[in-house]
């Protein structure tokens, strides 16, 4: 199968490409514009290091807004669209221009390109940020009320996918990821920031009171769910939550990091983060039913693996 993955040099994208290539019948085209974000270019090049050694992987460095999709999509069976400017806190103010261009306009350009090609599946990576503040487990039927411009940009991408499915028959599947973590996590994400501060003997910055909870999804569980979408039928038009094995508060996670690193963590409490919900919790019943999804990695194991990766990154 010939598969195109946008955002291939990113945190989740690089893991997904590796997982897809584990099947010897797949060839993967990875596209990434390496646009300036919170992740330095050298880190994203590091994400690609194993992929570039695989003869069934082709890397294309190009901005999605300027690609000749007629040429790039020829012969492609499946598209995974992960490319986006991430992050809630940076999406306010003038920086929203970059979110609009890379999360909305780029998605529309890609969908326009896909109209002319007989794809089997178009899998759009969305986020729990589209839900906003909810109480209890969230099903895919819940209303979408994002609290940040980032969430708005990703929800707009979802709506574009639905419009092109209705009008042009593009076989869209939407996966909503909940707080993905693990090796290669972006430097602006919470666990990466926590661990890097601990390694530098600096106080750990925590927004709010630390009692906010998240449904943490380890990256290999996340990409296992995404990869399984290749092989299951009756998914077209579905929106599916991808959550993790374990839900916890920020303070719980810091306690786990103290165990892993055998240290006492000094915390610096900051003001409440703008645009972030107090709690997230995915109902993954649909993923279990349609994808046979079964997350495996608990927080202690997952954080241990992320610590190991960051020790290597910052050595």
The active-site residue out of 80, 124, 150, 293 is: 150
Q: Quote the CA–CA distance of 273 and 174 in Å, as a whole number.
A: 27
Q: Quote the CA–CA distance of 300 and 308 in Å, as a whole number.
A: 12
**CA-wise closest residue to 283 among 235, 233, 234, 244:** 244
The phi and psi torsions of 141 (rounded to 5 degrees) equal: -85, -10
Find tokens 């892993």 and name the residue: 260
Known catalytic membership, residue 164: no
DSSP SS3 for 94: helix
**CA-wise closest residue to 176 among 32, 281, 306, 302:** 281
Find tokens 């989740």 and name the residue: 12
Q: Quote the CA–CA distance of 164 and 12 in Å, as a whole number.
A: 25
Find tokens 């050694």 and name the residue: 53
Find tokens 């707009």 and name the residue: 156
34: left (phi over 0), alpha (psi -120 to 50) or beta: left
Strand residues in the chain grouped as ranges (E): 2-6, 27-32, 57-61, 78-81, 121-127, 172-177, 180-181, 204-207, 213-218, 239-242, 246-249, 267-270
**CA-wise closest residue to 219 among 1, 89, 47, 26:** 47
End-to-end CA distance of the chain: 38
**CA-wise closest residue to 288 among 243, 251, 250, 252:** 243
Name the β-bridge partners of 59.
30
Positions marked active-site: 150
């Amino acid at each position: 199968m010939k598969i195109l993955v946008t955002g291939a040099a990113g945190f989740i994208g690089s893991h997904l490409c590796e997982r897809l290539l584990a099947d010897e019948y797949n060839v993967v085209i990875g596209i990434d514009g390496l646009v300036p974000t919170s992740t330095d270019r050298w880190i994203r090049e590091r994400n690609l290091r194993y992929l570039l050694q695989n003869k069934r992987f082709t890397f294309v460095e190009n901005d999605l807004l300027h690609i000749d999709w007629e040429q790039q999509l020829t012969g492609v069976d499946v598209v995974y669209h992960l490319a986006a400017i991430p992050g809630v806190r940076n999406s306010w103010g003038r920086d929203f221009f970059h979110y609009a261009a890379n999360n909305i306009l780029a998605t529309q350009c890609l969908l326009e390109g896909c109209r002319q090609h007989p794809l089997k599946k178009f899998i759009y990576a969305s986020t729990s940020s589209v839900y906003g503040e909810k109480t209890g487990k969230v099903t895919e039927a819940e209303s979408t009320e994002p609290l940040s411009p980032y969430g708005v940009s990703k929800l707009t991408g979802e709506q574009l996918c639905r419009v092109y499915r209705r009008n042009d028959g593009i076989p869209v599947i939407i996966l909503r990821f909940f707080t993905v973590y693990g090796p290669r996590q972006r430097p602006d994400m919470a666990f990466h920031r926590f661990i890097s501060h601990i390694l530098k003997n600096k106080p750990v910055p925590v927004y709010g009171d630390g009692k906010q909870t998240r449904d943490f999804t380890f990256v290999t569980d996340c990409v296992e769910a995404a990869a399984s979408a290749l092989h299951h039928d009756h998914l077209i038009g579905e929106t599916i939550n991808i959550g993790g094995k374990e839900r916890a508060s920020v303070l719980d996670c810091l306690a786990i990091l103290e165990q892993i690193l055998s240290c006492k963590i000094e915390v610096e409490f900051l003001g409440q983060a703008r645009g972030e919900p107090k709690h997230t919790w995915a109902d993954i019943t649909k993923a279990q039913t349609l994808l046979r999804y079964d997350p495996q990695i608990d927080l202690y194991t997952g954080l241990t693996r992320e610590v190991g990766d960051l020790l290597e990154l910052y050595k």
